[in-house]
Amino acid sequence: MKPMNEEHLAVLRRHMVEMIAIHADLASEELGKATLDERVMASMRRVPRHLFVPAAVAPYAYQDMPLPIGFDKTVSQPFIVALMTDLLAPQPHETVLEIGTGLGYQSAILAELAGQVWSVEIIEEFASHAEALLQGLGFSNVAIRVGDGSRGWPEHAPFDKILVSVAAERTPPALLNQLKPGGRLVLPLASEEVQFLTIIDKDAAGQLETRKLIPVRFSRLETI
């Protein structure tokens, strides 16, 4: 059997986005809305997820499921990637801090929508792979460094938006400090055995408002 070409892959991406739309509609009561931002959905149709996973699981890249990427880590389910991006609502003029680069799929989605993405990854092999892949795909507005994500990236702070792709029991204070007034932080927060996708908004006076949405399952934040 011959390998799939880009036309075939584009069909699979469109199907993946259709499944994301169904999932969002089914979760509308919990989310408070039935649809996700079309800008986000369009970026999911463009970014080649099969390139951001190991070859052994690439045939499953466009199914709505998390996939293993090594070091006991996974790339998030496409619905969760789309939902977190939708909740973050990155804009073309904004800077975004991402904690947990992985192999760079979420980074690519953010780079499609934001002005600049600064991403921190604790596993050096992931960071170098993601950096090479993103550069090869022409994403010039993503910078990656190896480090402890709980410390953020103070040299480039403050950030308009922060997205954390690993779970923590509490929001790292450094990330709250590096979020601009009027900014938003989206992350999974762990309470005992349950993790909830959480939105934290910082108002103009620096006050924080926190909202929990749906239960999720993410790898834990690793610190140095």
Residue 127 covered by a domain: yes
- CA distance from start to end of the chain: 47
Tokens standing for residue 155: 């040299």
Distances (CA, A) of 43 to 16, 75, 107, 112: 12, 17, 11, 6
**Among 10-24, 41-55, 133-147, 188-202, the least confident range:** 188-202
Residue 43 covered by a domain: no
Residue 104 covered by a domain: yes
Tell me the C-alpha distance between 155 and 133, whole Å: 24
Query: Is 2's pLDDT higher than 80?
Result: no
pLDDT, average across residues 199-222 = 92
Where does the chain have alpha helices with state H?
A: 6-26, 28-31, 38-46, 78-88, 105-113, 124-136, 173-177
Residue 222 covered by a domain: no
Q: Using only the alpha carbons of the chain, give its radius of gyration.
A: 17
- Which residues belong to the active site? 76
Residue 42 covered by a domain: no
The reported pLDDT for the residue numbered 17 is 98
Cβ partners under 8 Å of residue 95, min gap 6: 114, 115, 116, 117, 118, 156, 159, 160, 161
Count of the separate structural domains present in the chain: 1
In single-letter form, the type of residue at position 78 comes to P
The reported pLDDT for the residue numbered 105 is 98
The verdict on whether omega for the bond into residue 158 sits within 30 degrees of 0, i.e. cis, is yes
- Crossing angle of helices 105-113 and 38-46, in 10° steps, is 130
Read off the pLDDT of residues 123-152 as tens digits, 9 standing for 90 and up: 999 999 999 999 999 999 999 999 999 999
Structural domain range at position 142:
65-216
